[in-house]
Amino acid sequence: MGSYVPATAAERQEMLQAIGMRSEKELYADVPASMLLDRPLNLPAGKSELEVRREMEALAAKNKVYATVLRGAGAYDHYIPSIVKYIPAKEEFLTAYTPYQAEMSQGILQSIFEYQTMICDLTGMDVSNASVYDGATAAAEAAAMCRDRKRTVTLISAAAHPDVINTVRTYCYGTGHELRVVPCRDGRTDSEALKEMLTEDVASFILQSPNFYGQIEDAKALGELVHAAKAQFVLSFNPISLALLATPGECGADIAVAEGQPLGLPMGWGGPYLGIMASTGKLMRKLPGRIVGQTTDSRGERAFVLSLQAREQHIRREKASSNICSNEALCALTAGLYLATLGPDGLKEAAKQCLAKAHYLCGALCAIPGVTLKYSGPFFHEFLTVLPKRDEVLAALDDAGILGGLPVEDGILWCATEKVSRAELDRAAAIVKEVLA
């Protein structure tokens, strides 16, 4: 019943006649008859829009939407301003393809150019690309950028997000390169171990800060070790945190990567998200994916184009360093829009409130007998506690509509963003206290 084909049966017949055919079957004359599907697809019959709506709404209703989210670990529940939801839904942005034809795509190209500028300003790096798929693939692509004939090994901190480590490992498996994991000590990267592992064959070291346990790493010092060994320093950051924390540029990163989901994208059970990638000017031509550049048009006016295309797969084919074609352009537009909507003061305020609320929650939880903080280093908006009755605690919170922290190792990894109120945090702490009493 559902269909988006405008042509009526009569029109289709006339069109067939116009191409000298009598039936639709003739359209597929090149397909060996034995191969043609000789039965209807085993799918339900098509439905009207209203029926489909009911069915999808019923599926959505099978998920639980928590009033309070105290879980992060790679996906964060930040406040998304109304305008940030509304603008990317404009059909022009939504339904355009990659801006191959600059003369009718200046809006998309300019939005990416603006995004690239904001990412450079946020990170203190020189150049940003137009995005890759997510934070994990951004880290994997960064590792590939750093390898050369002599230096082929990638190092990654054990405190990076497990999905990031596994994704980098998969990309290394693809090209047949080695990945070595640098151990941690007390929830942060072990700098002594790193020093020893920085051998002559190491191309890069990937550090995440704040790391998976929420701990802020001593990125500057670790970066210096990496550079002393003539390897490249890849720093994975949290974009909201950079309103407060030292930028990858200030930490000496050669490449900065991030999961861009916190910048106005819904958690959406894991995607679509946004892979942020920015680098020093020196590495500009090694960046993968689309990059928008400014130029002038035939009338001498400012214009934007997809630039430096000779890096890419459609020109370099098997010699391209990445096969990426489609990226996450609409998510990049959303992130740029989010940053513009918050502005410098708004982003700082959001970051400060994340910091303050996470520390408030940490204080409230650790005041409960039996709850201890596992790692004592500085943190931004995530921290790991150890406590008894972990499953009961999370179940009690769940019953109250609160998504508690993530079970990690022997503890719980908590997160608080600007979105939660003091009352919600007090309530969560009271429930934990009650369970443990």
Partner 1 sequence: MKLIFEKSMAGHRCTLLPACDVPEVELDSALLRESELPLPELSEQEISRHYTQLCRRVHGVNCGFYPLGSCTMKYNPRIDEEMAALPGFASVHPLAPEKATEGCREVLDVAAQYLCEITGMDGMTFQPAAGAHGEFTGVLLIKQYHRSRGDLGRTKIIVPDSAHGTNPATAAMCGFEVVNIASAPDGCVDLEALKAALGPDVAGLMLTNPNTVGLFDENILEITRLVHECGGLCYYDGANLNAVMGVVRPGDMGFDCIHMNLHKTFATPHGGGGPGAGAVGCKAFLKDFLPRSALMEGEGRLQVRSFAGNFLVVVRALTYLLTLGREGVPEAAINAVLNANYLMRKIRGSFTPAFDRTCMHEFVLDLSAFKKETGVSALDVAKSLIDRGMHPPTMYFPLIVHEALMLEPTETESRETLDEAAAIFRELYDLAFRDPEQMHTAPHNAQIGRPDEVKAARSPILRWTKE
Partner 2 sequence: MNYPTELAYTKSHEWLKEADGVAEIGISDFAQSELGDVVFVNLPEVGDPVTAGEPFGDVESVKAVSDLVCPVSGEVCEINEELLDSPELLNSDPYGAWIIRVKDVTGYDEMITAAEYEAFVSEEG
Residues touching partner 2: how many (CB under 8 A)? 7
158 contacts partner 1 (rule: CB under 8 A)? no
Residue in 89, 221, 228, 315 binding partner 2, rule: CB under 8 A: 315
With CB under 8 A as the contact rule, which of the stretches 92-100, 127-135, 187-195, 303-311 interacts with partner 2?
303-311
Distance CA 84, CA 384 (A): 32
352 contacts partner 1 (rule: CB under 8 A)? yes
* Residues numbered 214-243 forming contacts with partner 1, rule: CB under 8 A: 216, 242-243
* Residues numbered 253-312 forming contacts with partner 1, rule: CB under 8 A: 259, 266-273, 284, 290-299, 301, 303-305, 307-310, 312
Select 229 or 346, whichever has its Cβ closest to partner 1.
346
Distance CA 158, CA 360 (A): 28
228: Cα separation from own chain's centroid: 30
With CB under 8 A as the contact rule, which of the stretches 63-71, 147-155, 187-195, 429-437 interacts with partner 1?
63-71
Select 271 or 293, whichever has its Cβ closest to partner 2.
293
116 contacts partner 1 (rule: CB under 8 A)? yes
* Residues numbered 378-437 forming contacts with partner 1, rule: CB under 8 A: 378, 394, 398, 403, 406, 418, 421-422, 425
Residue in 185, 230, 282, 316 binding partner 1, rule: CB under 8 A: 316
Select 157 or 198, whichever has its Cβ closest to partner 1.
157
Distance CA 208, CA 54 (A): 43
* Neighbour-count burial for 78-91, b at 16+ CB within 10 Å, e otherwise: bebeeebeeebeee
Q: What is the DSSP letter of 88?
A: G
Site string for partner 2, 283-302 (x = CB under 8 A): --x-----------------
206 contacts partner 1 (rule: CB under 8 A)? no
* Residues numbered 181-200 forming contacts with partner 2, rule: CB under 8 A: none
Angstrom CA distances, 18 to 149, 245, 435, stand at 59, 67, 76
- Burial (Cβ within 10 Å: 0-12, 13-18, ≥19) of residue 244: middle
Residue in 316, 352, 389, 422 binding partner 2, rule: CB under 8 A: 316
Residue in 2, 183, 369, 388 binding partner 1, rule: CB under 8 A: 2
Indicate the pairing of strand 275-279 with strand 255-259. Answer: antiparallel
Residue in 67, 83, 310, 395 binding partner 2, rule: CB under 8 A: 310
Angstrom CA distances, 10 to 2, 6, 18, 20, 392, stand at 18, 11, 12, 15, 65
CB contact at 8 A, 275 and 417: no
Residue in 128, 157, 189, 204 binding partner 1, rule: CB under 8 A: 128
Q: What is the DSSP letter of 247?
A: P
CB contact at 8 A, 381 and 415: yes
3-class DSSP string for 142-178? HHHHHCCCCCCEEEEECCCCHHHHHHHHHHHHHHCCC
Select 198 or 382, whichever has its Cβ closest to partner 1.
382
Select 97 or 183, whichever has its Cβ closest to partner 1.
97
Residue 220 CA neighbour count, 13 Å, CB half: 5
Distance CA 271, CA 290 (A): 20
Select 109 or 265, whichever has its Cβ closest to partner 2.
109
Residues touching partner 1: how many (CB under 8 A)? 202
297: Cα separation from own chain's centroid: 34
Residue appearing with tokens 């500085």: 378
Measured in degrees and rounded to the nearest 5, phi and psi for residue 403 equal -85, 105
359 contacts partner 2 (rule: CB under 8 A)? no
Binding interface with partner 2 (CB under 8 A): 285, 308-310, 315-316, 319
